[in-house]
């Protein structure tokens, strides 16, 4: 699957005197979030800090490349108004090697257990600094930069683009997609029934006893036009095929967003969508660093894209935490990442 994770220059508008850049961004998310593309202005780059973290952009920035590679992480989370909105539902490492012309895209599952917690809790516990540390420990690659987007921003981004055409590879169904705002709805059950259900069930089995909290999704194979809400449902849903299936769907969505952004369809209304798109991501990349990236990747089609999913079919295994929560562990043992790092390196 071709997923572009590099930047493409766009000619400046002679009347405005602006240089626009096409940059990779996120999303992932879904309960995930996912990767997408965003348009940034060199004159007015949008830089914000993640939740509970203060980011200060220095006047002078370090070199954009570390040992010949640009390493950054894409983060997707629920955001305000969503349950556990600061938990990372999508964590995707991108490492672009300029010498070999390769871009490694590694999807890291949110349930991965590292140093006593799930990796998706890292953002809440320690902001980007902790996420950066966790990603390095797992993959052996240190990301210096992040791009983050939440559910509402993701929906707005897709709608701003006028929707996307998604090539759905196979039938997908989910009977229990959560309806926002109905997370604690009792569904008409009495206090006695409510208490009885909580005694009898737990976890997912308890959740599905309250069917009014959910809607049923079904996507048929073939080219499907999706607006922002539908696109979020497609990449966020997980009950149909689990987190690993969701990771695959996120990569399908990446192609759809890439095709839309790079198509001529967006060019005529570029000015109209630009201001909106620049509001939809958070990043610690500075203006000068964005310029450096643009200079490095003048021809993104030269790059070979290597997508990798860390799953229980290659280097991970399923397990449970001390509280009974579902987690994923490296096959060689708790906090032993040598095989995971070797798996990544041998795919380069």
Please give the pLDDT value at position 316. 96
Please give the pLDDT value at position 190. 93
Q: Which DSSP symbol is given to 66?
A: B
For the record, the structure tokens of 265 come out as 């369809």
| Inter-residue contact 128 to 284 (CB < 8 Å) | yes
CB under 8 Å to 327, separation ≥6 — which residues?
A: 111, 112, 113, 118, 318, 319, 320, 321
Q: Helix 228-236 and helix 151-160: axis angle, to 10°? A: 130
| Inter-residue contact 40 to 275 (CB < 8 Å) | no
What pairs with residue 173 in β-bridges? 218
Please give the pLDDT value at position 220. 96
**Scanning the structure block, which residue is given the tokens 């993640």?**
50
CB under 8 Å to 239, separation ≥6 — which residues?
A: 174, 175, 176, 177
| Inter-residue contact 75 to 33 (CB < 8 Å) | yes
For the record, the structure tokens of 39 come out as 């348009």
The gap from C-alpha 26 to its chain's centroid, in whole angstroms, comes to 5
**Scanning the structure block, which residue is given the tokens 């370090």?**
62
Please give the pLDDT value at position 212. 94
Sheet holding 8-13, edge to edge: 8-13, 18-25, 36-41
Residues 66 and 70: their CA atoms lie apart, in Å, by: 6
Please give the pLDDT value at position 113. 96
Each residue's pLDDT expressed in tens, for the chain with a length of 348 residues: 333 233 333 223 322 222 223 333 333 322 222 333 332 222 223 333 333 333 333 334 445 455 577 898 888 765 555 555 567 778 889 888 877 888 888 989 989 999 999 998 888 888 889 999 999 999 999 998 888 887 887 888 788 788 999 999 999 999 999 888 898 899 999 999 999 999 998 877 888 899 999 999 999 999 999 999 999 999 888 777 766 777 788 778 877 887 787 674 444 444 455 455 556 677 787 766 766 776 666 666 677 878 888 999 999 999 999 988 899 999 999 999 999 999 998 887
Q: Which domains does the chain have, with CATH numbers?
A: 8-168+225-346 (3.40.630.190), 172-219 (no CATH)
Please give the pLDDT value at position 76. 77
Please give the pLDDT value at position 180. 84
Q: Residue 131, exposed/middle/buried by CB under 10 A (0-12, 13-18, 19+)?
A: buried
């Amino acid at each position: 699957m071709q997923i572009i994770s590099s930047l493409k220059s766009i000619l400046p508008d002679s009347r405005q005197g602006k240089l626009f850049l096409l940059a990779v961004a996120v999303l992932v998310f879904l309960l995930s979030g996912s990767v997408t593309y965003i348009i940034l202005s060199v004159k007015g780059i949008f830089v914000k800090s993640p939740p509970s973290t203060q980011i200060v952009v220095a006047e002078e920035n370090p070199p954009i490349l570390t040992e010949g590679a640009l390493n950054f992480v894409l983060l997707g989370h629920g955001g305000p108004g969503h349950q556990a909105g600061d938990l990372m539902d999508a964590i995707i490492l991108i490492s672009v090697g300029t010498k070999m012309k390769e871009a490694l895209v590694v999807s890291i599952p949110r349930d991965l257990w590292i140093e006593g917690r799930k990796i998706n809790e890292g953002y809440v516990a320690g902001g980007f600094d902790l996420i950066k540390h966790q990603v390095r420990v797992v993959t052996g690659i240190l990301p210096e930069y992040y791009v983050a987007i939440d559910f509402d921003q993701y929906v707005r981004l897709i709608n701003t683009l006028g929707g996307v055409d998604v090539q759905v590879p196979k039938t997908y169904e989910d009977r229990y997609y959560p309806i926002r705002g109905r997370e604690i709805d009792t569904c008409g059950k009495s206090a006695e029934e409510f208490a009885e259900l909580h005694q009898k069930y737990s976890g997912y089995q308890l959740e599905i006893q309250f069917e009014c909290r959910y809607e049923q999704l079904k996507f048929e194979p073939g080219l499907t036009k999706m607006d922002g809400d539908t696109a979020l449902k497609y990449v966020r849903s997980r009950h149909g095929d689990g987190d690993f299936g969701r990771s695959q769907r996120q990569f399908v969505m990446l192609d759809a967003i890439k095709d839309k952004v790079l198509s001529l369809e967006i060019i005529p209304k570029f000015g109209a969508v630009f201001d909106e798109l620049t509001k939809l991501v958070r990043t610690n990349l500075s203006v000068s660093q964005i310029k450096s990236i643009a200079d490095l990747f003048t021809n993104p089609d030269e790059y070979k894209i290597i997508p990798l999913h860390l799953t229980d079919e290659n280097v991970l295994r399923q397990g449970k935490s001390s509280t009974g929560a579902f987690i994923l562990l490296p096959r060689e043992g708790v906090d032993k990442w040598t095989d995971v790092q070797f798996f990544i390196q041998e795919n380069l």
